[in-house]
Amino acid sequence: MTTRLTLRGTRSTATAQPKPEVTYTISDLSKEFGITTRTIRFYESRGLISPERIGTNRRYSKRDRVRLMLRLRGRNLGFTVEDVGEYLALYDADPGQLAQTQHLLEKVTAAISGLEKKRDDIGRALSDLSDIRIKCEAHLRAKSPR
């Protein structure tokens, strides 16, 4: 690719250099996401990210950063490393993202059902505990000296 530059009426030809790819160090990502470098290396060992190696240093791409961000979001939503790994593998294998979207829909639907069940269980437990507390307070009032 060639670009024409005009400086003070002079024409010259310069070769435009492609923009260098944005990369991140392990400490960049650690600080950005508030996680330890050990956590990042764990996700690397599980195949979720695959940084370029330069000697003993790792250089993470935008793709690695996005995959890490998706893993952390998945973790916050209760998905396992394996769940996120399957999702990311489908992304790589399915350009139309139909299989990936179907997989995600199934996981999200199951997660919603699980959380709704937990919410119902918590509601019952709170009700039972409230009943017990009321009985304990009534018992203490009845037995305490006036």
Over 60: is that where the pLDDT of 14 sits? no
Q: Do 70 and 29 lie in a common domain? A: yes
**Cα(28)–Cα(124) distance, integer angstroms:** 45
Q: How confident is residue 85, by pLDDT bands cut at 50, 70 and 90?
A: confident
Residue range 11-23: mean pLDDT, rounded: 68
Whether 10 is covered by a domain: the verdict is no
Whether 105 is covered by a domain: the verdict is yes
Per-residue model confidence (pLDDT) at position 13: 53
Q: Do 98 and 144 lie in a common domain? A: yes
Q: Do 69 and 100 lie in a common domain? A: no
Whether 8 is covered by a domain: the verdict is no
Whether 69 is covered by a domain: the verdict is yes
Whether 9 is covered by a domain: the verdict is no
Per-residue model confidence (pLDDT) at position 128: 98
75 in Cβ contact with 42 (< 8 Å): no
**Cα(72)–Cα(92) distance, integer angstroms:** 19
Q: Do 30 and 68 lie in a common domain? A: yes
Per-residue model confidence (pLDDT) at position 119: 97
**Cα(81)–Cα(49) distance, integer angstroms:** 12
Work out the mean pLDDT of the chain and round it to a whole number.
86
Nearest CA among 64, 20, 62, 19 for reference residue 41: 64
Beta bridge partners of 8: none
Q: Do 71 and 114 lie in a common domain? A: no
Q: Could you tell me the pTM of the whole model?
A: 0.66
Structural domain range at position 73: 21-79
How distant, in Å, are the alpha carbons of 34, 85, 89 from that of 102? 31, 15, 13
Nearest CA among 59, 66, 116 for reference residue 91: 66
Residue range 28-71, pLDDT digits in tens? 999 999 999 999 999 999 888 999 999 989 999 999 999 999 99
Neighbours of 47 (CB within 10 A): 12
Whether 136 is covered by a domain: the verdict is yes
**Cα(21)–Cα(18) distance, integer angstroms:** 9
